[in-house]
Structure 1
Amino acid sequence: MIENMDLKIEELYKKYLKLSMPNKYLLSDVEDILINEYLAKSLDEKEMDFLVDLQEINKYDKCFIIDKDEILNNLFTEQEKREFVSLKELNKQFPLDPDKSTKSEVKYTRIQEGEYLVIFLGVDSEDYLKDIKLIGNSEKLFDRLIVLMGIDREDCNLENREFHDYLRSLSNLGYLKAD
């Protein structure tokens, strides 16, 4: 199995070498993509800081929310949609008590049910995307964020597991199609 996986990674790597796309993206480019393609809205990180460990909140510079049904529907896989339906049914059986639930609990439940996604972005000293945190389930959006975060050229080698993840994300998004 490992041998087969290594072979697939090598195939993806060969296709990657033929690509001419940036390896890293500036925060301004990522913001444009999120706002224009996903109709994301910028939020103050403090509004959603309950979703992030207090020790790591300072590494994020921007926060976005995606909450448009049509966009979300396109971002979720069929498996994710089924899981949301199951979770909503379960939550109906055991609903949150409005008198005892915090705003944070209600928001987090809505995220778990697929009503919106929250994205935290951090940048390096040159304003390139460096850190991402996606709250909510969307393989498609996670892959897109991995590609937008990119990888340093010197880390583009087959021994690097992060590069494998980057190649898989490129492949999942269709950038590394068969010749």
Structure 2
Amino acid sequence: MTLSFDNFNALEAHEKFKQLNISKFSLDEIDRILKTKYKAKEMDSDLFSELHQDPFFNPSFLTKCYLIDDQSVLENLYNKEEKITHNEFKESYGTLTTKIDHSNPEERNHAASQGTLLYIIFQSEDGKYLSPFISTYGPCEKIMFEFMVFKGIDPSKCVLGDMDYKLYLFSLVSAGYIKI
């Protein structure tokens, strides 16, 4: 059975979470995880000038940008629906096979839409921990769950029945931090 938010065992995840010592992750920890677990490469965030048009983007915050382009990592990262979307995009718009010019937004978006790379962009107000702004070029549910884990949760919300806590537990399971 496929794991879904409605059918996963929150009580079992809660019990396992209590045994872990997980809090919000520092930027250094996030950097290490992205580079080791996902073979991500840090990129210059100035390449993404279009971010300044996003109302949630704050140019005064530290901005970090990573690229995942290892095909074996991406193959394991994308879920079935995301892979179908990538294939439909390639059927409609063709496959970009040339080396990507990362400064070209059209090429970046095409490559991300066909699933051959994934950009992750996030910000930090204090230079230590994640701020709310997180963006990906190319949808990737697993990365979004990973970042929910990175952000952590307020300990006062760690109560069964709290929907934020349930989502956090689901993210821990979906990102592989808790096995149930």
TM-score, normalized by the shorter chain, greater than 0.5: yes
Aligned-partner Cα distance in 2 for 1:130–1:40: 20
The corresponding residue for 1:133 is 135
CA-to-aligned-CA distance 1:105-150 (integer Å, 9 cap, x gap): 2321221111211111222436122332222122222211211221
CA apart distance, 1:87: 1.2
What percent identity do the matched residue pairs reach? 28
| 8 Å contact kept, 2:39–2:70 | yes
Aligned-partner Cα distance in 2 for 1:88–1:108: 12
Aligned-partner Cα distance in 1 for 2:52–2:157: 27
Aligned-partner Cα distance in 1 for 2:106–2:21: 40
1:152 aligns with one of 151, 154, 158 = 154
Aligned-partner Cα distance in 2 for 1:154–1:140: 26
After superposing the two structures, state which structure 1 stretch, 155-164 or 128-137, moved more. Answer: 155-164
CA apart distance, 1:89: 0.1
Matched, 1:112 2:99: no
Aligned-partner Cα distance in 1 for 2:63–2:156: 25
What residue ranges of structure 2 are gaps of 5+ in the alignment?
97-102
The corresponding residue for 2:48 is 48
What residue ranges of structure 1 are gaps of 5+ in the alignment?
96-101
| 8 Å contact kept, 2:142–2:175 | yes
Aligned residue pairs total 167
The corresponding residue for 1:27 is 27
TM-score between the two structures when normalised by the length of structure 2? 0.77
Secondary structure of 1:57's match?
coil
| 8 Å contact kept, 2:119–2:136 | yes
1:81 aligns with one of 80, 83, 92 = 83
Secondary structure of 2:135's match?
strand
The structure with the larger Rg is: 1
The corresponding residue for 1:62 is 64
Within 5 Å, give how 1:2-41 maps onto structure 2.
5=6, 8-18=9-19, 20-41=20-41
| Cα RMSD, aligned residues only | 2.9
| 8 Å contact kept, 2:62–2:125 | no
CA-to-aligned-CA distance 1:68-116 (integer Å, 9 cap, x gap): 2121111112332122111110113xx9xxxxxx932232122111121
Aligned-partner Cα distance in 1 for 2:57–2:83: 29
Aligned-partner Cα distance in 2 for 1:53–1:158: 39
The corresponding residue for 2:99 is none
CA apart distance, 1:17: 2.2
Q: 1:14 to 1:57 in 2, by over 3 A?
A: same
Secondary structure of 1:17's match?
helix
Aligned-partner Cα distance in 1 for 2:166–2:109: 31
